[in-house]
Amino acid sequence: MQILKFLFGIILAQIATYALVILSPDELTITELLRLVIPLLLIALIVAFWFTSMAGHYGKDAIGKAKDEFANEREKLRVNAQRAKERVQKAAQKDILNEATKIHAKANFKVGAAFAGLLGIGALFVFAQMITVGLLALSATGGAMGGYYWRGRRLENQRLKEIQSSSNFKVIESKPSRLKSSKH
């Protein structure tokens, strides 16, 4: 599109030169030649300044457009990096939660087996007519199971709060570009 502006300037300068040559007398003396050359030099000078101005504006527009494109690309890269970081953090938290769940399940099975053994021993004492020792074993086992359950619930609630508070990701805040586009 810029070529059309330059082409228009060249055609305008040629039309002005043609008009001056047509209007000049057939025989040129020194003074008449100066009357022809001076306006032609002024036209050439004006067209040169005009083309220089257009080229300068075109260059500024191209630089501004390139800076805007680079700023947009940089912002896209920054946003994509932040999204990738969030995905990695979420995946790591999920893996940690899965591992913790497996470990707690194994521990709960072991504790449950120990409690079942104690209940079995308490029932054996009751059946063997050692009622006091049997009831003592049964009540101690029941109290231990209740305490273990209560402690597990408290730890689980605390862990959920920690996970919820650590899942608040900080988002990179984009700052407006200091580059100003010069559109003329």
What does the CA dihedral 151, 155, 161, 163 come to, rounded to 10 degrees? -160
Q: Which of 153, 148, 127, 126 is nearest to 138 (CA)?
A: 126
Residues 53, 57, 58, 62: is their CA dihedral positive or negative? positive
Whether 164 contacts 68, CB under 8 Å: no
End-to-end CA separation in angstroms for the chain: 14
What b-and-e string marks burial along 129-156, b requiring 16 or more CB atoms within 10 Å of the CB?
eeeeebeebbeebeeebeeeeeeeeeee
Strands (E), 25-169: none
Q: pLDDT of the chain along its 184 residues, tens only?
A: 567 778 888 888 888 888 888 888 888 788 888 888 888 899 889 888 888 888 888 889 999 999 999 999 999 999 999 999 999 988 888 888 888 888 878 877 887 787 778 777 777 767 777 777 777 777 777 787 788 778 878 887 887 777 777 655 444 555 555 555 554 4
Domain ranges of the chain: 2-166
d(CA 130, CA 179): 89
- pTM across the whole model: 0.45
